Structures are given as C-alpha cells and as structure tokens.
Amino acid sequence: MTDEMTAQLPSAAGRWREQLASWAIPEEILARAPENPWTFPVELFVSRAEAARRQLSYSNHAALVALPEGGTVLDVGCGAGGASMALVSRARLLIGVDSGSEMLAAFAKQAERAGVAADTVEGRWPDVADATPAADVAVCHHVAYNAPDLDAFTLRLTDHARARVVMEMTIGHPQSRLNELWLRFHGVVRPTGPTAMDALAVLREAGLDVRWQQWEEPRPGGFARREDLTGWVRRQLCLPADRQADVDEACGAWIIERDGLYGFPDRPVVTVWWDGSAR
C-alpha cells in the first residue's frame, strides 16, 4: 500500500465516530416516538450499584489493586455507582460524574448508604473535565458506546487518574441486542459495530498502552417488575404503549429472573485498563 493510500484510510477514532453515528434512529420513526428512546432507567442502575457491593467483578479487582488505602475514585458516567461502589472498602472519597441529575442523586444516596464520602459533577465528559478533580483511580463502566469522541474522552480520563484508569464495556454495542426486534417491528436493519475491539484500536491510536481482558460472568441487577423491563424495550423501539403486549410476546422468551430481578442474559464484557498520568 502506498503512503498516499494509507493517508486516505480513516483513523480508528474516525471509524468509531462513524460507526456510532450509524446508530441514529431513522427520522420518520423517531418523529413518531411517543417517548425518548435514549433514556437510561435509574432503577436498573441502582440495582447494579447495590449488587456491586456484594460481588466483585474482574473490573473491580483491576481498580482495587491500583487504589491506595484511603484513596480517591473518579467514576465517569457513574449512574448510581455500579463501577465505584465495589471500591468503598479502600476508598475515602468517590467523585461521580454523570450527565443525568437523577443518576447523580442515586449515586449520592448509594455512597451515603455505603458510608463513604461523595462529590458529584453534573455534565458530559469530557466537557466537564476541567471542573472535575483528579483521583487515584478513574473508573468508567458502560459509557464508551455513548462517546463519539472516544480518543478525547479517554485522554481526559488518563489525565484525571494518578494510578490507573479502568474501563468496562460489552464486547458488542448494547443496542445490538434489539436488532432482531427492529427488523420485526420496523423492517429496519440496525448496525452491528462498533465493538470493544474497535475501542481498543482508538485507545492505542491515542497513544495509550492498554491491557484488556474479556470475561463473562453474571452481572447482577435488573428490574423488580418484568413489565418495567419490557416497557424499556418498547421505548427503545420507539413504540407506543398500545404495542406493549406485542413487545412482551417478542422478547418474553429471552427474559431471565435472578435474585427476584428481571433482565436479559449476560453478554461478554471487556475490562480495559492503563496507567493514569495525573500528578
């Protein structure tokens, strides 16, 4: 391949951005959506945060070994604290960043229940990075597919961590689980990429010396009521409430119940970690 041809290839960061943009919902379907299809249900992430304190995951271990006793943790896209609540045995302070105020309120409540101090910063990362203090360890679980500018996003995580950054993401795009339903209800073929491997390429291109591990273990948490799970699926599919029974029927067979909570089967997850550069 000539230098000229190589120069024309899109960068890994550019491919990531393009692939994420391909998940935009077709205009005519979005225009008819009765509710916002992109919201995250607070209840689900509260249950994840509660479960995180009972069961340590691979990602939690990767963060704990780098966290000094009495250290500080920055949790970006914290939700209710699914990534950081597992670290309270060593942490003195958790700093939660999230674009959603309800999530931050849930995060503060979880921290209080866990008996650890917490600060919150509301806004989108990396836009709020300058207003956010650095920490010993930065964690960021299940946010990467929401970050079109993944290179800038991860570089600001890097300069906010003194010891280590730990990121966790599903191997495939979280929405790809619903692809079959998009075809069934709308006749629309949804994308399949990007994947966690594309994210790794972006991070390496940004100069980060990343290590990673794929794993598959039960990730506890879910909805207390089955209809709240299928209601979320219906909203993501941009369908009105009167199609609820059709959605229940279409995804009913996939639903699992664990510890009294309803969810979908676990999918492979990737933990990615690298050194921080904050002083």
Ligand X SMILES: C[S@@+](CC[C@H](N)C(=O)[O-])C[C@H]1O[C@@H](n2cnc3c(N)ncnc32)[C@H](O)[C@@H]1O
Residues in touch with ligand X (CB under 6 A): 40, 45, 48, 77-79, 82-83, 97-100, 103, 124-125, 141-143, 146-147
Shortest Cβ 23–ligand X spacing (Å): 14
Closer residue to ligand X in complex, CB, 72/132? 132
Closer residue to ligand X in complex, CB, 58/184? 58
Closer residue to ligand X in complex, CB, 9/130? 130
Shortest Cβ 9–ligand X spacing (Å): 27
Shortest Cβ 5–ligand X spacing (Å): 34
Q: Are 85 and 49 in contact (CB under 8 A)?
A: yes
Closer residue to ligand X in complex, CB, 228/248? 228
Edge to edge, the sheet with strand 211-215 lists 117-122, 91-98, 71-76, 135-141, 161-170, 269-275, 211-215
CA–CA gap between residue 81 and residue 60 (Å, rounded): 12
Closer residue to ligand X in complex, CB, 40/58? 40
Helix ranges (DSSP H) in the chain: 3-8, 12-21, 27-32, 42-52, 58-64, 101-114, 150-158, 179-186, 196-205, 226-236, 244-251
Closest residue to ligand X: CB criterion: 82
Shortest Cβ 208–ligand X spacing (Å): 18
- Give the position of tokens 């950081």: 84
Q: Is the dihedral of CA 77, 80, 83, 89 positive or negative?
A: positive
Shortest Cβ 42–ligand X spacing (Å): 8
